């Protein structure tokens, strides 16, 4: 599995509609085998430029980040899925570097006498 960061710009509606968009998105990700690690609301902001989407012009949007882990194959299907969602203005997947955890090889014995002699 690869670690991805999905950034979405949503239209701002009343809170129940925003929650419904997020729920649809997270459910679609999970159906495709992703594990959602975190969901962050970055708030409503002016868009950097006017965006025409779904026959409307948008100047403001809600910014959300979804941190997920999943197979690389979900990217194209989710881009298509989110492109058809009328509440999503822009969507982007960013591959997030994952720090590799080293396996524990157990306790390594330390010779304290050698350490004491080395200090002298």
Burial of 36 (0-12, 13-18, 19+ CB in 10 A): middle
pLDDT above 80 (res 110): no
List alpha helices for 1-120, DSSP H: 15-31, 74-84, 112-119
pLDDT of residue 68: 85
Kindly report the pTM of this predicted structure.
Answer: 0.68
Domain architecture of the chain: domains with CATH: 2-115 (3.30.70.60)
- Answer whether 42's CB lies under 8 Å from 86's CB: no
Indicate the pairing of strand 88-95 with strand 56-70.
unpaired
Q: Output b/e per residue, 93-115; b: 16+ Cβ within 10 A.
A: beeeeeeeeeeeeeeeeeeeeee
pLDDT above 90 (res 28): yes
pLDDT of residue 15: 63
How high does pLDDT run on average in the chain? Answer: 76
Residue 93 pLDDT class (50, 70, 90 cuts): confident
pLDDT in tens, 45-88: 887 888 887 788 888 888 888 888 888 888 899 999 988 888 88
């Amino acid at each position: 599995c690869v670690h991805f960061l999905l950034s979405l710009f949503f239209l701002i509606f009343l809170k129940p509609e925003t929650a419904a968009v997020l729920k649809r998105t997270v459910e679609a990700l999970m159906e495709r085998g992703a594990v959602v690690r975190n969901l962050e609301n970055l708030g409503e902001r002016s868009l950097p430029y006017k965006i025409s989407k779904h026959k409307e012009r948008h100047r403001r949007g809600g910014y959300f980040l979804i941190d997920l882990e999943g197979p690389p194959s979900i990217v194209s299907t989710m881009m298509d899925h989110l492109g058809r969602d009328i509440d999503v203005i822009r969507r982007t997947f960013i591959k997030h570097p994952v720090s590799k955890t080293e396996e524990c090889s157990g306790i390594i014995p330390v010779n304290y006498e050698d350490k004491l002699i080395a200090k002298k």
